[in-house]
Amino acid sequence: MRSLLDELNDRPMSHLGRSRRELHEELDRPVLRPLSGRPFEIAEWKRVRIHIDYHVAFARHYYSVPYGFISRQVEVRATAQTIGVFLKGGQIASHVRDDEPSFYSTLPAHRPEALQAYLSWNPERFIRWAEKAGPATAESVNRIMTGRAHPEQGYRASLGLMREKTGDVIPCPSISPKRNVAAIAIPPHFPKRNRERARRESNPQPADPKSAALSIELRARCH
């Protein structure tokens, strides 16, 4: 078979008067490039929008980008090892891939300069809004902000309170802060079954009738 292939490549073609090998040596070989030393990586692409907390979501994990790109639509390139974020074909961020759900990968260089607030979003704005619902809600939002490595990582959970359609949280100033924290500390992006489980674990049903009656009264007052 090898000898027949060599004979075919060396045989002049009737319509050109030249062999395939001659054309390859003249046209193809001069523009050939060496193969990459890196193995080919299978990548998954996803188009997303950068959240106000300057993170993008991929596979339920959050990766930071430079805060100046907030609200821009970008493309995420995910391989088995890395996450790349691209804007109009140029890479603006790169992370080691982490599939831990509901966690953040944040690079300090992506944060606002000197920790200044960007746009009109900052922890104080969320807390001021929460104070209108009551001191318990304000304390809960404050705990969300202070319980993260970076305050911006609490923006998604706090925004969940501002979305009335979710139905996950109904601020109730009359409920104690601890009970209210247990309710709103559940991130709104958790799957429904995980939210229900977290509520049961953080707010177990009281055992005695008096506590049960009090729990029913509190729920009625919130609704």
**Interval 173-205: pLDDT, tens:** 333 444 444 343 444 444 555 455 545 544 545
Same-domain pairing of 77 and 134: no
Alpha-carbon distance 156 to 14, whole Å? 70
| Same domain as 130, residue 92 | no
Q: How many domains does the chain have?
A: 2
> 203 phi and psi, to 5 degrees?
-140, 70
147 Cβ contact partners less than 8 Å away, ≥ 6 residues apart: 154, 185
What was the pLDDT predicted at 80? 93
Whether 84 and 127 map to the same domain: the answer is: no
Q: Is residue 160 part of a domain?
A: yes
Q: Based on the domain organization, do 157 and 98 belong to the same domain?
A: no
Backbone angles phi, psi at 195, to 5 degrees: -65, -45
CB-hemisphere CA count at 13 Å for 177? 12
What is the domain extent for residue 91? 44-111
Whole-number Å distance between alpha carbons of 100 and 106: 14
Is residue 10 exposed (0-12), middle (13-18) or buried (19+ Cβ within 10 Å)? exposed
Q: pLDDT tens digits, residue range 16-70?
A: 899 999 999 999 999 999 988 888 889 999 999 999 889 999 999 999 999 889 9
The model's pLDDT over 2-15, given as tens digits with 9 standing for 90+, comes to 888 988 999 999 99
Please give the pLDDT value at position 161: 63
pLDDT tens for residues 45-59? Answer: 999 999 988 999 999
Higher pLDDT, 192 or 74: 74
Specify whether 127 is located in the same domain as 206.
yes
pTM: 0.48
> End of a domain among 111, 137, 166?
111
- d(C-alpha 44, C-alpha 58), whole Å: 10
